[in-house]
Amino acid sequence: MVELRGVTKEFTDGRTRVRAVDDVSLDIDRGEIFGVIGYSGAGKSTLVRLINALEAPTAGTVSVDGTVLTGLPERRLRPARAGVGFIFQQFNLLSSRTVAGNVAYPLTVAGWDRASKAARVAELLDFVGLADKAGQRPSQLSGGQKQRVGIARALATSPALLLADEATSALDPETTRDVLDLLRRVNRELGVTIVVITHEMSVVTYLCDRVAVMDGGRVVELGDVYDIFANPREPVTRRFIATALHDRPRPDVVERLLERHQGRIVTVAVSDETATSTAITDVLRHHGVDSAIVYGGITEVGARPFGSLTLELTGAPDDVRTAIADLAARTEVVDHGGAGTPPGGPSGPDGPGGRATGTEAAR
Amino acid sequence: MSWSELGPLLGQALGQTLYMVVGTLLVGGVLGLVLGVALYVSRPRNLLPNRAVAGVLNVLVNTVRPIPFIIFVTAVQPAAIAVTGTSYGPTYALFAMAVMATFATSRIVEQNLVALDPGVVEAARAMGAGPVRIITTVLIPEALGPLILGYTFLFVAIVDMSAVVGAVAGGGLGNFAIVYGYQRYDYAVTWLTVAVIVVIVQLAQALGNLLARRVLRR
Ligand SMILES: Nc1ncnc2c1ncn2[C@@H]1O[C@H](COP(=O)(O)OP(=O)(O)OP(=O)(O)O)[C@@H](O)[C@H]1O
Ligand SMILES: [Mg+2]
């Protein structure tokens, strides 16, 4: 659906040059929800503006739906832009028009006649659940309602691609959820490919199939959301993951856990294959080790369970040791020590330095 | 002079002032809108960024605007004669006023457009709208409330100009106050003229506020 090849965008601001997007190549597949996450200034907005041809790349090529946009004259870019929906953090509704007038605007640009416009606007407002607000002014709506209007407007010309730049960043958590659900419906029911720009990992976990992590204009990591979560390579990625999951105890928390509990404290990563919470409990029971949950959390990433549990293990020292070894063969385990044992450090199927990055991820 | 002689003269002067003011508002207002939009869209990173055009327009506006109006009226005489065919009276005055008003309006328009949220322009661009459509369906409608207030302010400034121009080029309430009030030491006539001007300004301001409120209540 979208193909970026070696795309670079530089801005010259007076004498200084900013490379907002730096040699990015990626493909966004038809029908997927693709996330782009990064901190402020990472180049996310510039990247979507390149996809929508609001900016022209300094180098590289951008193609959307089989059309190479790079190098096209402005006159040919306008219809291309009209074929891509765009929703904004600040909604960007026209205050001089009613809700219906805003949704009709792209249709007017596309040259629709009055009757077809009215029918399409009614259909769209119905889809986003705002049929009763058609005659109101944007200023009379709540943030969530404004964004629904923004989405209806973006969908007016039935685009195959929808770009959402921080579409929920101005909304409270509950409204965010509603808007994300609406975007999911847009994807499922209308088959629209969606690119979601965000700095919130929770948006990615809730909505996206794949994600690209941007840092300093580059895409530093890209893959299935679950894989990225399970196996983050870059420090930025880990920091984002840590914001979405508060499942791993920070070092000061570990210290308090060790003071508070008599047994051995270990953090065990939960995943959907070899280390479901049931499997973990089974292993411990098999070795005759008792466990109590002292910290942790399991959430869903890409509709699969993900997270970690910090357990207090009690039992014969040898049993505890073999139980930990057994768990470490299945999943990532961080041994915080306790019960007279110094910390065994991280261990896991990939060995040290592999995916056993629990303490770092928890930072 | 008796009031029965002055009355018709005052009426005629009022008519001339309204002619000059409304004419200036129309001509200068429209040209100023065009110039103001041009100043805005040619700014760097704007709709139609153009360093050369922006530079020339800014120098032009900044050169004309500071010229004291009473001097400007006399300085544009050759151009005024070429356009209006006269060097005296309300039509000549209207020419000088319209030119000055164009430049004054352009800055008012530009300021109000700069204050707009660039996001709405971005949204229109993202929907495939071209520059002309964006100017007419986004920029001007979105800035309409402040623009009406700006034009109301301009109206008052034009009334002021029309009084100045009366002293130099003849015609209108300004001329009437000078000739029949000031030069004849007849304060009653001067004050009456002032009262008429105050009423005009009040009416215009009230109308402007009303319209702006209508537009802004959305
Ligand atoms: N038009 C421009 N002119 C100059 N520099 C720009 C321009 N647009 C973006 N930049 C610079 O490019 C870099 C990336 O900006 P961009 O807006 O793409 O970041 P972002 O990831 O969207 O950040 P945020 O989360 O704050 O929206 C920043 O350093 C920014 O200052
Ligand atoms: Mg941004």
Output the average pLDDT for chain A.
88
Quick one: which atom of ligand 1 is closest to the CA of B45?
1
Give the Å distance between the CA of A165 and the centre of ligand 2. Answer: 7
Q: What is the pLDDT of residue B44?
A: 87
Question: A223 with A113, same domain?
Answer: yes
Give the Å distance between the CA of A10 and the centre of ligand 2. Answer: 16
pLDDT at residue A350 is higher than 70: no
pLDDT tens by residue, A18-66: 999 999 999 999 999 999 999 999 999 999 999 999 999 999 999 999 8
CA distance B165 to B153: 19
Mean pLDDT: which of A314-323, B25-34, B43-52, B71-80 is highest? B25-34
User: Is A241 inside a domain boundary?
Assistant: no
User: Is A32 inside a domain boundary?
Assistant: yes
Question: A35 with A154, same domain?
Answer: yes
Which among A236, A257, A289 is the end of a domain?
A236
A295 Cα to chain B: minimum distance (Å): 45
DSSP-assigned letter for residue A194: E
pLDDT tens by residue, A115-163: 999 999 999 999 999 999 999 999 999 999 999 999 999 999 999 999 9
pLDDT tens by residue, B162-206: 888 877 777 888 888 888 888 888 888 889 999 999 999 999 999
Q: Which residue's alpha carbon is at the smallest distance from atom 29 of ligand 1? A: A41
Which among A184, A212, A236 is the end of a domain?
A236
Whether B123 contacts chain A with CB within 8 A: yes
Q: Which of B45, B112, B127 to mutate to test the interface with A (most CBs of A within 10 A)?
A: B127
pLDDT at residue B28 is higher than 70: yes
CB contact under 8 A, A54 and B125: yes
Sheet with A333-335, edge to edge strand ranges: A290-301, A304-314, A264-270, A333-335, A345-347
User: Is A289 inside a domain boundary?
Assistant: yes
B87-113: average pLDDT: 91
Q: How sure is the predictor about A356, in pLDDT bands with cuts at 50, 70 and 90?
A: very low
Instruction: State the count of interchain CB pairs (< 8 A) between A and B.
Output: 60
What does CATH list as the number for B3-216?
Answer: 1.10.3720.10
Q: Which residue of B has its CA nearest to A50?
A: B126
Q: Which residue's alpha carbon is at the smallest distance from atom 31 of ligand 1? A: A41
Which residues have a Cβ under 8 Å from the Cβ of A203 and sit 6 or more positions away? A35, A168, A176, A180, A196
pLDDT tens by residue, A177-197: 999 999 999 999 999 999 999
Give the Å distance between the CA of A43 and the centre of ligand 1. Answer: 6
Q: Which residue has the higher pLDDT, A306 or B146?
A: B146
Question: A230 with A251, same domain?
Answer: no
Task: Report residue A84 as tokens.
Answer: 């891509």
By DSSP bridging, strand A67-68 and strand A59-64 are antiparallel
pLDDT at residue A355 is higher than 60: no
B107-120: average pLDDT: 94
Q: Which of A45, A91, A94, A153 to mutate to test the interface with B (most CBs of B within 10 A)?
A: A94
Q: What does chain B come to in residues? A: 218
Number of domains into which chain A is organized: 2
Which residues have a Cβ under 8 Å from the Cβ of A149 and sit 6 or more positions away? A91, A93, A99, A102, A103, A128, A130, A133, A138, A141
Sheet with A67-68, edge to edge strand ranges: A16-28, A2-13, A59-64, A67-68
Output the average pLDDT for chain B.
90
User: Is A126 inside a domain boundary?
Assistant: yes
Q: Which domain holds residue A270?
A: 246-362
Q: Which of A54, A96, A153 sits opposite B141 (nearest CB)?
A: A96
Q: Which of B123, B128, B218 sits opposite A88 (nearest CB)?
A: B123
ipTM here: 0.84
CATH number at residue A17: 3.40.50.300
Question: A206 with A255, same domain?
Answer: no
Whether B218 contacts chain A with CB within 8 A: yes
Whether B128 contacts chain A with CB within 8 A: yes
Question: A182 with A271, same domain?
Answer: no
Q: Which of B122, B129, B142 sits opposite A95 (nearest CB)?
A: B142
Question: A211 with A341, same domain?
Answer: no
B64-69: average pLDDT: 90
A212 Cα to chain B: minimum distance (Å): 23
Q: Which residue has the higher pLDDT, A348 or A186?
A: A186
Q: What is the pLDDT of residue A342?
A: 63
User: Is A213 inside a domain boundary?
Assistant: yes
A165-175: average pLDDT: 90
Q: Which residues pair with A35 in a beta bridge?
A: A196, A211
User: Is A106 inside a domain boundary?
Assistant: yes
CATH number at residue A319: 3.30.70.260
Q: List all residues whose CB is within 6 A of at least one atom of ligand 1.
A: A 11, 13, 18, 20, 38, 40-46, 199; B 45
Sheet with A84-88, edge to edge strand ranges: A84-88, A161-165, A193-198, A33-38, A210-215, A218-224
